[in-house]
A and B are shown apart, each in its own frame.
Chain A
Amino acid sequence: MMQPTHSSNRILLPVRGWFIFMSLLAALFLNMIPAGRLPGVPDFVALVLAFWCVREPFKIGMGAAFVLGIAMDVVSAGVMGQHSLAYVLLAFAATGLSRRILWFPLARQALHILPLLLGTQLVMFIARMIAGGAFPGWLYFLSSFTACLLWYPLTYLLLLPQYRSMEKDENRPI
């Protein structure tokens, strides 16, 4: 969906469904790369999901969040339902706030995303603490901060296909 932002002076091409799908799959792939117990590794699935929920609230929503959550539950060897619960809440908040967030420049958009990602982690944290998991240490919440730093490059990367011009021009780089 084309959304006006306070600084936008161009109208983007409509997004393609398969591109959203591929970017979410790529995020899932990045999450699967074993990083051991290194703190601060961002949750790419949550980040890309939040991005599409903000950008395309009518294309990506809670259903996709739920399915991705199930996949993450299995991949991370956690408890079933832990990621899906958190992601569904994230998708709800991000779609709800999308009109507001897009009004801000990118740096302040990232500041809006930070509490959403922290909330996602907090939901998982509370769910697992109730279930009797071990306390992972406060550095667990560091990954939201690193993820929010990625908001700036991620926006440019994921909007790249929509910056193409309508008519083909051999001399134009993108």
Chain B
Amino acid sequence: MSVVGQEPPPFFKRGPAPLARLAFFLALSALLLVLDLRYHTLEWTRQAVAIAVYPLQRLAYAPAEASGSVAGYLTTLVAAEKENAALRRRQLDDSRLLLRQNALEQENRHLRALLEMKQRQTVPSQVAEIIYSASDPFSRRVIIDKGTQAGIVAGQVAVDDRGVIGQVTRAFPMLSEVTLITDKDQAVPVQILRNGLRSVIFGNGDGSLELRFLSSSANIQVGDELVTSGLDGIYLPGLPVAKVVHIDRDTTYAFAHIRCEPIAGVESHDQVLVLGRPKALPPAPPEPEGKPVKGGRMRK
């Protein structure tokens, strides 16, 4: 094929043959792929490389950051006034609720105490800024400007002022990676606000979400709001996630096809609140002793 592909004369030392080298590096790459996808054991390598390239990464982001701040400075007065008016209107809307919140919380605590229910937890949170979206075209992730140095760990939930935007999936020393709820197969346990019906919502990878495994006859309507159910012990209960926009009840399938749209500004770049993790749930009760009866699984 070429000079490189030919057998060199023995007095020109060129190391192993190209095909042997190709096989070696391909095997190594394939090994990395399998290890990362299947066993998730390469996080330490990723951490090390991430630390090594962090200065370069920060430098590469600097021009974008500078242009962003200049653009922010040059925003016209009209836009600023409009935004101010909108925020004022929203604040008025919210203040009505906020005024009663303290009283309601107090009341809720008393009622919960009366009913001997577990108290709702409050968790600490911190503000972070989305600095850019990751360049990987096959997933939907954003990078935020706080990392393990600021106490962020993988598994925390990121919300904006309207609802859940995603979950921290990797924490580096200075940055962390948030997988958006619209990422393909990213799952969030939710319930319908109207009637408390529980389900799990999955991202589609194209900016929308889908409620799977709800039967065709399930009590759900277009416009229903979905909030986190908190059953997983990771998401706090009651955070808005998505709104149902389309239901396709085809009775030839066991499950309805339900498309939803995120409530939070998932694809817009803004500031996010990273919520601390709630206290771990008590361990699941042990499986009952003895052999399961035939067909017992069906009756559950």
Contact = CB atoms under 8 A, between A and B. Distances in A.
- SS class of chain A's interface: helix, strand, loop or mixed? helix
Contacts of A132: 184-185
A134 B2 contact: no
Nearest to B267: A37
A36 B133 contact: yes
A149 interface: no
A105 interface: no
Interface string A113-150: 00000000000000110011111100010000000000
Given A62-B22, A69-B29, A81-B30, A32 B57 contact: yes
A99 interface: yes
Most buried by A among B29, B143, B184: B29
B133 A96 contact: no
A96 B137 contact: no
Contacts of B18: 61-62, 92, 95-96
B36 A134 contact: no
28 contacts: A28-B53, A29-B56, A29-B59, A32-B61, A33-B61, A58-B4, A62-B22, A62-B25, A71-B53, A74-B50, A76-B136, A77-B134, A77-B143, A77-B170, A79-B33, A79-B36, A81-B34, A84-B28, A84-B32, A85-B29, A89-B22, A89-B26, A95-B2, A128-B138, A133-B139, A134-B140, A134-B205, A136-B137
Interface of B: 1-5, 14, 18, 21-22, 25-26, 28-37, 42, 45-46, 49-50, 53, 56-57, 59-61, 63-64, 131-141, 143, 170, 177, 183-185, 204-206
